[in-house]
A and B are shown apart, each in its own frame.
Chain A
Amino acid sequence: MLLFLEQVLNGLQLGVMLFLLAAGLTLIFGIMGLINLAHGSLYMIGAYACASTLAFSGNFLLAVAAGMAAAGVAGLLIEAIVMRRLYDRGHLDQVLATFGLILFFNEFVRLVWGARPLFLDVPGWLGGNVEIIPGAGYPVYRLLIIGVGLAIALGMWWLVQRTRLGMLIRAGATDREMVAALGIDTRLLYAGVFVLGAVLAGLAGALAGPLFSVEVGMGEHILVQTFVVIVIGGIGSIRGALAGALLVGMVDTLGRAYLPTILRLFAEPATADGVGGALASMTIYLLMAAVLIFRPRGLLPAHGH
């Protein structure tokens, strides 16, 4: 039972991490109709900037801020130089261009920081474990990620539901042309949303750095999961992104933790371990397929369309 609670916490933590990436991606996709494969590159830039700043200054909070700022600046540049030309074009053009950006950023990072992965560890004051569940310590840093992620989710809800900018974002997700016709400067709105998404991706990268390897191409694996999240949650919807992220985090973690054990009830241990491992890596895709069958627009789609 204790183990199960710990696995639920692990699932929650993976979920909020995915949410930080999915929130930006789903807004960009929902409002501008833009498929941005380079979102993972912004995550990578956040992690690299965080690692460098931490090595230089020794201040983790400053390092996280630097990661967000670097990703934000990169996002601003990408939007102004590349994305602005892609809004009116087909998805295939967008996929090609943003895939090119992935290659560009991977090489850029390799030129600046070198091919060897960077060091980035949990700062001393966030290290260690707390006995949140009696008897089993849980890393403080992972709890912090859960806290930050939930706070960001709350902040995003407030931004989207309670502010004028949020109203425009919701309107944009529902009917882009109408927003433009009402005299809203959509160019500015798009740039703002894109940079917001980039900053969140940078935050995710900076927070992920101490847990994961800071290396070239680190954003590509997590990007695939992020796309699964926004498809499950419903494209363009922040609530959907949160629900999808938590669901994917939970299903993935619990699948990895328990599928081999469950299969051992039916099959030989060797087979169960092999098949269980393979199945566990598929669970989120099976979940996505099931959601697409029963709710083709996702669990909590943005209104309109």
Chain B
Amino acid sequence: MNRTSLGSMLLTLLLLALPAGAAAPVKIGMITTLSGGGSSLGIDVRDGFMLAVEEGEQALGGVPVEVLVEDDARDVGRAIQIAQRMMQREQVEIFTGIIWSNLALATVPRIVGNGGLYISPNAGPAEFAGKDCHPGYFNVAWQNDNLHEVMGQYVTDQGHDDVYLIAPNYPAGRDSLAGFKRFYEGEIAGEVYTTLGQQDYAAELAALRDADPDAVFFFLPGGMGINFLKQYQQAGLKEEIPLYGPAFSFDEGILGAVGDAALGVKNGSQWSPDLDNAANRRFVEAFEARYDRRPSLYASQGYDAARLLGSALARVDGDIGDREALRAALREADFDSVRGDFRFNSNQHPIQDLYVREVYKTDDGSLSNRIVARVFEDHSDAYAQNCRLGND
């Protein structure tokens, strides 16, 4: 075989490989945490998102998509690097997936500043909801304070007026207690800031017992919450002082590790597996069938992110070049969210109902959450007034 015929054959193969006439799929960059500590959150977001993509047979809203998933390992530098590489080499224009607020604060401005679009399936720092809001940034989960605000209201409703507060000493921890206090009306028995990543809470628990509060509100995400809940029960405090927190310490990935120490604890969330609407029933069933585990709120957020994007892609018929039209379609939020009613506020953050759930034992003996009260109806965040998007 001579050189020319080899060359022309390769050329033919190359042409055959390109699907004739079909538009290239829309690329979606997913930067999320898939390894190391906290990876169960990223894995849930990814699996929820991919479930929607698989249901559409590699398409969202009928528009073929290609999802490029990369692991940021909870590292700010790595998240920025991935975003830059995806934008430059792969020409990705739509991004999602970041779990942690500190990663989002560093990465998202580079994406939206470059004309890209970012749909947040988890982190909702105050900056992006308020003064630094951006037409290219949508949050489909919650503003960070929301799940603490709902507990502030609920704890007040329960008649507690002397509450002990615990959170890690970092921005999201202080925001959490600020969110709680925005709606809590009683006295504060103590306010403790612990080290980020702390494992042993014996000193805090002894001081807590001594302060003898009515109730305890704690925000200790991930492993810190597991440590705290186990030790709270071991110290014999669970029977004495009721415990409240946001859903972050009670997701379905954590409950298995905490066991009975979490049983009966009330936690605030925008979603619950038993939310009674058609989209959620379908989602919970499909997720369990596909992955053989119960979905968490993070999985529901990944799923909603994909379906929000699908609704917008369908409306613009897969043409992401007209960015203004795509953003307008996203703002419509014309999809059946698994949490029922859902729409965007002027700052492109959710207006949604917020619930209090309790941890209970299911028929198969494992732990899950069920709703005990709907505390806020059509709740929005406290920062929207600082965002100038709606006013322009």
Contacts and interface: CB of A to CB of B under 8 A. Distances in A.
B40 A115 contact: yes
B206 A221 contact: no
Interface string A254-280: 101100100000000110011011101
A274 B36 contact: no
B257 A277 contact: no
Interface stretch (A56-64, A160-168, A208-216, A233-241): A208-216
A170 interface: no
Given A139-B235, A277-B194, 10 more contacts: A6-B206, A115-B34, A116-B256, A117-B257, A122-B234, A213-B222, A213-B225, A254-B203, A276-B193, A281-B169
24 contacts: A106-B35, A106-B36, A115-B253, A116-B293, A117-B253, A117-B256, A118-B256, A119-B259, A121-B260, A127-B234, A129-B235, A136-B209, A137-B235, A139-B234, A141-B234, A211-B199, A211-B230, A211-B234, A213-B224, A215-B37, A257-B207, A277-B193, A281-B194, A281-B195
Interface string B155-183: 00000000000000100001000000000
B223 A257 contact: no
B7 to A, nearest CB: 43
Given A273-B193, A280-B195, A10 B203 contact: yes
A10 B193 contact: no
B41 to A, nearest CB: 9
Given A110-B35, A117-B223, A277-B192, A137 B253 contact: no
Interface in B178-201: 191-200
A14 B200 contact: yes
Contacts of A218: 37, 199, 223
B334 interface: no
B210 interface: yes
Interface string B84-120: 0000000000000000000000000000000000000
A253 B201 CA distance: 9
B37 A216 contact: yes
* Contact-residue bracket for chain A: 35 or more
Contacts of A116: 40, 253-254, 256-257, 293
Nearest to B296: A116
B287 to A, nearest CB: 15
A298 to B, nearest CB: 24
Nearest to A224: B197
A263 to B, nearest CB: 12
Interface in A57-90: none
Interface string B222-239: 111111001100111000
Interface in A83-129: 106-107, 110, 115-122, 127-129
Interface residues of B, number: 46
Interface of B: 34-37, 39-40, 43, 169, 174, 191-200, 202-204, 206-207, 209-210, 222-227, 230-231, 234-236, 253-254, 256-261, 293
Contacts of B231: 211
Contacts of A210: 230, 234
B181 to A, nearest CB: 11
Contacts of A182: none
Contacts of A106: 35-36
A222 interface: yes
B203 A257 contact: yes
B192 A214 contact: no
B193 A257 contact: no
Given A7-B203, A13-B202, A137-B236, A215 B193 contact: no
B171 to A, nearest CB: 12
